[in-house]
Amino acid sequence: QKEVEQNSGPLSVPEGAIASLNCTYSDRGSQSFFWYRQYSGKSPELIMFIYSNGDKEDGRFTAQLNKASQYVSLLIRDSQPSDSATYLCAVRSGNTPLVFGKGTRLSVIA
């Protein structure tokens, strides 16, 4: 059973701070890793994907991957109230469907 684990939160950070969201996965053969943002009552939207060890930056977002530790994280710099949402980690092995974590709820306090 492939599992993706996330702290459900809520994670509360003040506006302007760095939010750090973490995810661990059970399948060592996993190859691709995705972060989705889901606002309340809306469908998930893709923020970033990463497949190589290390960091990948896109604007205020940085994804970090450590395959040896089976750990992927998402950093949000200069957090804004509009970043308040649930963040879903998803993992793929080969061409199998994405396996999603249950998500971490982030609250950015103005």
> Rule CB under 8 A: which residues touch another protein?
31-32, 34, 36, 42-46, 49, 51, 88, 90, 92, 95-103
Identity of the residue, 17 or 93, whose beta carbon is nearer to another protein in the bound complex: 93
The CB-of-77 to another protein minimum distance in angstroms stands at: 22
Q: How many CB atoms lie within 10 A of CB 16?
A: 11
Q: How far is the CB of 53 from another protein (least distance, A)?
A: 14
The four Cα atoms 21, 27, 29, 35 give a dihedral, to 10 degrees, of -30
Q: How far apart are CA 5 and CA 86, in angstroms?
A: 14
Q: Which is nearer to another protein, 28 or 110 (CB)?
A: 28
- Bridge partners for 46 per DSSP: 36
Q: How many CB atoms lie within 10 A of CB 78?
A: 12
Nearer to another protein, 25 or 103 (CB): 103
